Structure 1
Amino acid sequence: MNVNVPDERLVFVDLETAGLKPWRPIIEIAAIAVDSNQRELERFEAKIQFERKFANAKSLRKASYSPQRWEKEAKPAGDVMKEFTDLLRRHATVDQLSAKGRVFRVAQLVAHNGVFDGAFLSAWYDRYDEFLPASPRVFCTLQRAIWLFHEDKSLTPPPDFSLRTLCHYFGVSLRACEAHEALNDVRATVDLYRAIAQHRQSMMRPPLHACG
């Protein structure tokens, strides 16, 4: 019997920004699209040109910003936005209803601290007067982890819910030297999501009883 499995894709995203407020520039973006079985379909990464006068120096240091690397590798923000938009449209599987009643599809984003990344992406697209083809509800692995520790009382919660702390807790590789680089962080976010999903599946399995 053939069973039609919904093509419910997820697009994991990570941003490195030049500050904590959404009006600050996004300086790096990375994304990994996965299918309904969490298999990777496509990945994307780009450094973005920005004006230093709008950046916070402390945030640049945390984001592992290097003037030499950005001079060599960064692309104009408009070009990066177009590439990212095309990726979202290729993996758009969420139905939305327009004001005129027309059904169209957008991508489902996932991020660690989705409120933060969602606000920056929305502000970025608004500045360019472009439509962000993604659901306004960004799934959040930070919130998913909080729920997991609420659901499974056998787990001792970690001291915090940062990406690096949770990756260490669930055995996901993310070394200190790799953190705060967008592609490393988004790869770790995908692996963290898989680890949480695997743990939940093990919670739902019935206990094995020995035969007498």
Structure 2
Amino acid sequence: MKTHQPDERLVFVDLETAGLKPWRPIVQIAAIAVDCNLQELERFEAKIKFNENFANPKSLRNASYSAQRWRTEGLPSKIVMKMFTELLRHHATVDQISASRSVFQVAQLAAHNGAFDGAFLRVWYDRAGEFLPASPRVFCTLQRAIWLFHEDKSLTPPPDFKLQTLCHYFGVPLRSSDAHDALNDVRATVELYRAMSRHIDDLSARKLRSCG
């Protein structure tokens, strides 16, 4: 007999920013929505036009920013926000309760270093006077990795928990030349989460066998 699978989705997101403080501009955003089985449903990527006077030049270099490419491919912030909002609403599966006690749904975001991306998204939407249709709690693959190494003592922790380090550890392809592009990074984050999920399943199975 088939069991009903809840329609629980995750929207993985990655941002490239013009600095480390949330008031700095977001210059690129990418997202991949997945279902409860971590199968991809939709993906999104956009480069955002911004005022370079508010940018940290070092951060722009780290984000592989190209003024010429952004002039050609960049879109106004309001348009990108509208497109991203539509994606979030399309994959909203988390119940929230409004001030009037009515129930509505928002998306569940996931990111590597979710606190960083979450803060930038909240400031971006607040500055525009728009509602961010996502749960304020952003799932974090960095934190999940820390828990995983705590749970499985047979694993030797890596030297750090950066995305590229963890991808190398779990066999997820992410070349240095491809890193710090939002779409490449969000693809790698999804694959990292899948790899950790498989490891957790294997760990659970080993524990069950040892108790049996």
Same topology, TM > 0.5: yes
Matches of 2:161 and 2:204, distance apart in 1 = 24
- State the 1:99 CA deviation: 1.0
Match of 2:186 in 1: 186
4+ long deviations beyond 3 Å: 206-209
- Render the CA deviation track for 1:129-168: whole Å, top value 9, x for unaligned: 0000000000000000000000000000000000000000
Match of 1:113 in 2: 113
Matches of 1:121 and 1:189, distance apart in 2 = 18
- State the 1:2 CA deviation: 3.3
Match of 2:75 in 1: 75
Matches of 2:160 and 2:31, distance apart in 1 = 24
- Render the CA deviation track for 1:167-194: whole Å, top value 9, x for unaligned: 0000000000000000000000000000
- Where 2:147 maps in the other structure, the secondary structure is helix
- State the 1:4 CA deviation: 1.3
> Pairwise CA RMSD of aligned residues?
1.0
What residue identity is the alignment partner of 1:86?
A: E
- Render the CA deviation track for 1:186-208: whole Å, top value 9, x for unaligned: 00000000000000000011477
Matched residue pairs, number? 209
Matches of 1:5 and 1:42, distance apart in 2 = 19
Matches of 2:48 and 2:196, distance apart in 1 = 32
Matches of 1:3 and 1:100, distance apart in 2 = 35
Q: TM-score, normalised by structure 2?
A: 0.97
- Where 2:7 maps in the other structure, the secondary structure is coil
Match of 1:6 in 2: 6
Matches of 1:174 and 1:157, distance apart in 2 = 19
Matches of 2:75 and 2:204, distance apart in 1 = 46
What residue identity is the alignment partner of 1:77?
A: S
Structure 1: unaligned runs, 5 residues or longer:
none
- Where 1:38 maps in the other structure, the secondary structure is coil
- State the 1:43 CA deviation: 0.3
Q: Quick check: 1:143 aligned with 2:146? A: no
- The residue correspondences of 1:122-201 to structure 2 (distance < 5 A) are 122-201=122-201
Matches of 2:193 and 2:99, distance apart in 1 = 33
Match of 2:53 in 1: 53
What residue identity is the alignment partner of 1:57?
A: P
- Render the CA deviation track for 1:1-41: whole Å, top value 9, x for unaligned: 23211000000000000000000000000000000000000
Matches of 1:198 and 1:208, distance apart in 2 = 17
Q: Quick check: 1:25 aligned with 2:25? A: yes
- State the 1:62 CA deviation: 0.3
Matches of 1:5 and 1:180, distance apart in 2 = 35
- Where 1:205 maps in the other structure, the secondary structure is helix
- Where 1:20 maps in the other structure, the secondary structure is coil
> What is the percent sequence identity of the aligned residues?
72
Matches of 2:196 and 2:118, distance apart in 1 = 22
